[in-house]
């Protein structure tokens, strides 16, 4: 497939998924607006459809709560058949009037997308409108979700990580015994080829139980923090938060806004990142931290490599991290059909090649690694990932995720961030005019 055809096909996916003010992640499986999806999607639009990139971020920011939480779903009242639906979440007392939202967050990619929008549009007026909302969201994460003042946000739910059923959460979920669950009917299994592509019923029972706890305390963080059995300092979430804080700082400088609070956030993260997430710098892998059991969650997944994206760790340590990209456990050249990083190490006892975040290759995680490798000037590794991502979607299409063994697409087809980040790679590498 020629470059122009690949670009045209990627744009066609976003066109199919456009809903007037926002883009759905996929036409069937995900019929509403998802938070971090929209930030990744906006990045693609900045290259050729600025007005849609603006609308994408506008619509997600318009759903921000009174306490500045940015919900992970903005529900489309015209779309039905998805669970959990807005009636289940019961967020009316927190969300803006007329907006139907969920009650949890997702990784804060939005400031990164906003800065990218500015670089392409020079639209200072729009950035000025977004800035207080973005800063408010970061403050919510670093105050309400970090009473320890560690510099790092705590997640309450696997859905907040974006890595819903990753092996990273197995231990924390296993200690939860769901009880008094409401009756519910999943809709996700109706839109995939095989049930094994999605989380199990046992997973879902625990997901719903955690939401029931949030609802019981009316989403009040002070009470939730005391009682929630799932409290994790997520290494990917906080890597993204650091990159987003740096983007927010640049936006503050562009707008002439006061930035001492943002500088304080960044300084605290830089001082403590290694201690918080890297128990063994000689190993070069980074892990989530379980606040309930007070220990690192040592699972070899793509998350252990994602801090490359932040540029926060000294290069001698990152050199050890990069060595893992050449390991057969992470699809080094000749191991898998495409040399891309799977969501879980191939040698892991938890690896499942087509099951969501337990094995498949995802484009967004490899895109983040690509960005970080460029930052650290590991240009050969970066180029290898870039080429492999484009080769994969050229051969297999714009799927949600891919079997690392043969590159076959799974999950939803016509997946928006796969298309959007493909567009970003094509434009960024000067492969299109």
DSSP state of 410: E
The closest of 45, 65, 63 to 53, measured between CA atoms, is: 45
For CA atoms 422, 427, 431, 433, give the dihedral sign: positive
**What is the arithmetic mean of pLDDT over 243-258?**
99
433 found inside a domain: no
Q: Where are the alpha helices (DSSP H) in 278-415?
A: 315-323, 363-375, 379-396
270 found inside a domain: yes
| Domain span at 214 | 3-428
Does the pLDDT at position 431 exceed 70?
A: no
**What is the arithmetic mean of pLDDT over 176-195?**
83
**pTM exceeds 0.85 for this model:** yes
User: In DSSP terms, which residues pair with 18 in a beta bridge?
Assistant: 23
Model pLDDT, residue 190? 74
45 found inside a domain: yes
Question: What confidence tens digit (pLDDT) does each residue in 310-342 have?
Answer: 999 999 999 999 999 999 999 987 889 999 999
Q: How confident is the model at residue 429 (pLDDT cuts 50, 70, 90)?
A: low
CB 134 within 8 A of CB 114: yes
Q: Which residues contact 433 (CB under 8 A, 6 or more apart)?
A: none
Q: How confident is the model at residue 389 (pLDDT cuts 50, 70, 90)?
A: very high
Question: What confidence tens digit (pLDDT) does each residue in 399-428 have?
Answer: 999 999 999 999 999 999 999 999 999 997
384 found inside a domain: yes
Model pLDDT, residue 81? 82
Model pLDDT, residue 428? 78
**What is the arithmetic mean of pLDDT over 150-154?**
99
Question: What confidence tens digit (pLDDT) does each residue in 338-381 have?
Answer: 999 999 999 999 999 999 999 999 999 999 999 999 999 999 99
Provide the CATH number for the domain around residue 286.
1.50.10.10
Model pLDDT, residue 258? 97
**What is the arithmetic mean of pLDDT over 83-92?**
95
In which residue are the tokens 């191939």 written? Answer: 346
Q: Which residues contact 143 (CB under 8 A, 6 or more apart)?
A: none
- Domain count within the chain: 1
Q: How confident is the model at residue 430 (pLDDT cuts 50, 70, 90)?
A: low
192 found inside a domain: yes
Residue 103 CA to its chain's centroid (Å): 17
Active site amino acids: 164, 400
């Amino acid at each position: 497939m020629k470059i122009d055809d690949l670009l045209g096909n990627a744009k066609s996916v976003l066109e199919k998924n456009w809903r007037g003010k926002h883009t759905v992640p996929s036409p069937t499986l995900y019929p509403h607006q998802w938070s971090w999806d929209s930030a990744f999607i906006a990045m693609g639009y900045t290259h050729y459809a600025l007005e849609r990139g603006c609308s994408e971020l506008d619509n997600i920011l318009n759903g921000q709560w009174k306490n500045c939480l940015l919900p992970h779903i903005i529900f489309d009242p015209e779309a039905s058949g998805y669970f959990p639906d807005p009636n289940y979440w019961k967020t009316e007392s927190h969300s803006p009037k007329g907006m139907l939202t969920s009650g949890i967050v997702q990784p804060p990619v939005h400031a990164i997308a906003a800065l990218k929008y500015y670089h392409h549009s020079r639209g200072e007026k729009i950035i000025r409108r977004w800035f207080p909302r973005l800063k408010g969201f970061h403050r919510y994460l670093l105050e309400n979700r970090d009473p320890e003042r560690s510099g790092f946000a705590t997640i309450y739910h696997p859905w907040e990580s974006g890595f819903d059923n990753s092996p990273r959460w197995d231990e924390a979920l296993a200690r939860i015994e769901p009880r008094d669950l409401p009756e519910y009917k999943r809709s996700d299994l109706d839109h995939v080829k095989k049930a094994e592509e999605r989380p199990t019923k046992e997973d879902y029972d625990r997901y719903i139980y955690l939401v029931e706890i949030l609802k019981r305390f009316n989403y009040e963080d002070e009470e939730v923090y005391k009682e929630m059995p799932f409290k994790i300092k997520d290494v990917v979430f906080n890597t993204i938060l650091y990159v987003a804080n740096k983007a927010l700082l640049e936006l503050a400088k562009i707008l002439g806004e006061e930035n001492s609070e943002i500088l304080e956030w960044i300084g605290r993260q830089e001082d403590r990142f290694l201690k918080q997430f890297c128990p063994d710098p000689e190993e070069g892998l980074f892990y989530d931290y379980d606040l309930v059991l007070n220990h690192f969650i040592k699972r070899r997944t793509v998350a252990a490599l994602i801090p490359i994206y932040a540029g926060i760790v000294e290069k001698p340590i990152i050199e050890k991290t990069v060595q893992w990209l050449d390991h057969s456990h992470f699809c080094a050249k000749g191991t898998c059909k495409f040399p891309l990083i799977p969501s879980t190490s191939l040698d892991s006892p938890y690896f499942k090649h087509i099951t969501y975040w337990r094995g498949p290759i995802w484009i967004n995680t490899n895109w983040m690694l690509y960005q970080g490798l460029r930052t650290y000037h590991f240009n050969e590794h970066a180029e290898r990932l870039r080429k492999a991502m484009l080769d994969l979607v050229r051969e297999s299409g714009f799927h949600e995720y891919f079997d690392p063994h043969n590159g076959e697409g799974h999950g939803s087809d016509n997946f928006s961030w796969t298309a959007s980040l493909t567009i970003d790679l094509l434009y960024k590498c000067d492969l299109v005019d």
